[in-house]
Amino acid sequence: MGYPENILADGEHVVLHRHPHWKCLVLPTIVFLLVTAAAGVAAGYLTSSSLSGTGELVVWVVIAVVWLALIVWFFLRPLISWRTTHFVLTDRRVTFRNGILTRSGIDIPLQRINSVEFRHGLVDRMLRTGTLIIESASDDPLSFDDIPQVEKVHSLLYHEVFDRGDGNVNT
């Protein structure tokens, strides 16, 4: 699911579009592998068991339903959430949209941004990700976690906010 270009104003263009860092998908992928392996082991035991007929069918259905429920909740939901989360910097605003069934979002006009900072620890630095913190005119600072290449995003955002004195956009 791409970023909806139709929410942009006339003449507004996207400078940067990011989804959260792929590290958000590591745990769901591990869960997928473990749950699938456990279902495979259960299926192997069932095949070598003395169950037959209706009892065997019921256990197959239980294994399949439990596997599917766990995969949907612990793998597909985070994957879809990751895919539908957008951090977008345009030449006029910062936009953040997230959610699957219930969408939420925030727009921060560039003129209202007072400061931009980033934070990342050792693991985040190795993965080239981090938290971007934006302080606007009248609101508490907003934190955006797991922004890929957070230093580059910080630099671009700083450029868009503070280096545009002449009104020209150089991206």
Q: Tens digit of pLDDT for each residue in 27-45?
A: 999 999 999 999 999 999 9
- For residue 99, the SS3 value is coil
The 8-class DSSP code of residue 112 comes to G
Instruction: Read off the pLDDT band of 50 (50, 70, 90).
Output: confident
Whole-angstrom Cα distance, residue 35 to residue 29?
A: 10
The answer to whether residue 169 sits within a structural domain is no
For the chain, give the mean pLDDT.
90
pTM of this structure: 0.83
Whole-angstrom Cα distance, residue 28 to residue 98?
A: 18
CATH of the domain at 109: 2.30.29.30
Domain end point (choices 55, 81, 107): 81
The answer to whether residue 2 sits within a structural domain is no
For residue 75, give its domain range: 25-81
The 8-class DSSP code of residue 75 comes to I
| Same-domain pairing of 105 and 135 | yes
Whole-angstrom Cα distance, residue 107 to residue 92?
A: 10
CA 15 to centroid of chain Cα atoms: 19
pLDDT at 78 over 50: yes
| Same-domain pairing of 150 and 92 | yes
The answer to whether residue 151 sits within a structural domain is yes
Domain end point (choices 81, 96, 123): 81
| Same-domain pairing of 59 and 99 | no
The answer to whether residue 125 sits within a structural domain is yes
| Average pLDDT of the segment spanning 102-126 | 93
| Average pLDDT of the segment spanning 1-23 | 84
Number of domains in the chain: 2
- For residue 138, the SS3 value is coil
The answer to whether residue 76 sits within a structural domain is yes
| Same-domain pairing of 92 and 144 | yes
The answer to whether residue 52 sits within a structural domain is yes
At 164 the pLDDT is: 66
Instruction: Read off the pLDDT band of 123 (50, 70, 90).
Output: very high
- Pick from 168, 148, 167: which is nearest to 20 by CA? 148
| Same-domain pairing of 120 and 144 | yes
> Does 73 or 7 have the greater pLDDT score?
73
| Same-domain pairing of 105 and 69 | no
Whole-angstrom Cα distance, residue 171 to residue 169?
A: 6
| Same-domain pairing of 91 and 153 | yes
| Same-domain pairing of 76 and 91 | no
